Amino acid sequence: MTNKLKYFVANWKMFGNLASLKSANKINYYISSKKKLRSHSKIILCLPNTLIYFFKKNFHSKFISLGAQNCHQDEKYGSYTGSVSSYMLKNVGAKYVILGHSENRITGESNNVIKKKIKSALNQNLKVILCVGETLKEKNKKKTFSVIKNQIISSLGKKFNTNNIIIAYEPVWAIGSGKIPKTNKLETIFKLIKKNFKHKKAPVVLYGGSVNAKNIRNFSSVPDIDGFLIGGASQSPKKFIDIIKNYYK
């Protein structure tokens, strides 16, 4: 079953300074002026931690939810130099947190650590966007779904609360590469994820990896895709807004 609401989630990664808040506000301004769009779209900006509070305080946006891009597995405070907890993120205005991104998995973040991070985020009432996806090598070995399944089961279990957890399917080989999966492959993968992890209702599943204003129409023919996790193109308000516009064209 398809979730009606379409998600457009920006992942700014390690980009942006105080001046970039103007970009974020352009998105806010656009969404504020589009009542119809708001009724069927959910816009989430996952900003660097340094900008979350400033955005919240300056723009008081009713239409944009804020998210962070990672958190420490300990829920509140601890002697973990350089780390930020889910409690601290919640405290500055985050409602979502991206976890398990391949850019963090590649530095050694294990499914077990991701599991602890998910627990801490949920305890703080943050919604989790859990990233999963196969590498090129795994794709070539036709292991795509078994990799995804293992990543989901080892950090969430077979049954999870589909109200609090969003799955983002991001093939590692598609991130920042300009390459995207074939439509028929996406159809199969999204169906499999939704079918295998249905618990009361099917989870919200996003696609991420090289999404841009030109290729977004390729995805609109796959109804099981509930939205997008957008990296590079989300740092420009024009590109991000064009993705949304073209999706509905």
Which of the residues are catalytic? 101, 170
Question: Among all chains, which residue has been given the structure tokens 């589909």?
Answer: 162
Q: Beta strand 41-46 with 6-11: parallel, antiparallel or unpaired?
A: parallel
- Between 87 and 186, whose beta carbon lies closer to ligand 13P? 186
- Between 87 and 169, whose beta carbon lies closer to ligand 13P? 169
CB 64 within 8 A of CB 43: yes
Q: Write the DSSP assignment of 150-190 as a string of letters.
A: HHHHHHH-SS--TTTEEEEE--GGGTTTS----HHHHHHHH
C-alpha closest to that of 171 among 213, 138, 202: 138
Under rule CB under 6 A, residue 170 binds ligand 13P: yes
Q: Write the DSSP assignment of 19-40 as a string of letters.
A: GGHHHHHHHHHHHHT-HHHHHH
- Whole-number minimum distance, CB 168 to ligand 13P, in Å? 7
Question: Among all chains, which residue has been given the structure tokens 């439509």?
Answer: 183
- Whole-number minimum distance, CB 230 to ligand 13P, in Å? 5
Binder among 2, 49, 232, 246 for ligand 13P (CB under 6 A): 232
Each residue 47-86 as x (binds ligand 13P by CB under 6 A) or -, in order, gives: ----------------------------------------
Binder among 45, 166, 189, 211 for ligand 13P (CB under 6 A): 211
Region binding ligand 13P by CB under 6 A among candidate stretches 86-94, 182-190, 225-233, 236-244: 225-233
Under rule CB under 6 A, residue 237 binds ligand 13P: no
Phi, psi of 30 (to 5 degrees): -60, -50
Under rule CB under 6 A, residue 209 binds ligand 13P: yes
Under rule CB under 6 A, residue 231 binds ligand 13P: yes
And the tokens for 167? Answer: 């799955």
Q: Rounded to an integer, what distance in angstroms lies between the CA atom of residue 107 and that of residue 223? A: 34
- Between 203 and 209, whose beta carbon lies closer to ligand 13P? 209
- Whole-number minimum distance, CB 43 to ligand 13P, in Å? 15
Angle of CA points 155, 161, 163, to nearest 5°: 125
Q: Rounded to an integer, what distance in angstroms lies between the CA atom of residue 59 and that of residue 21? A: 9
Residues in contact with ligand 13P by CB under 6 A are: 11, 101, 170, 175-176, 208-211, 229-233
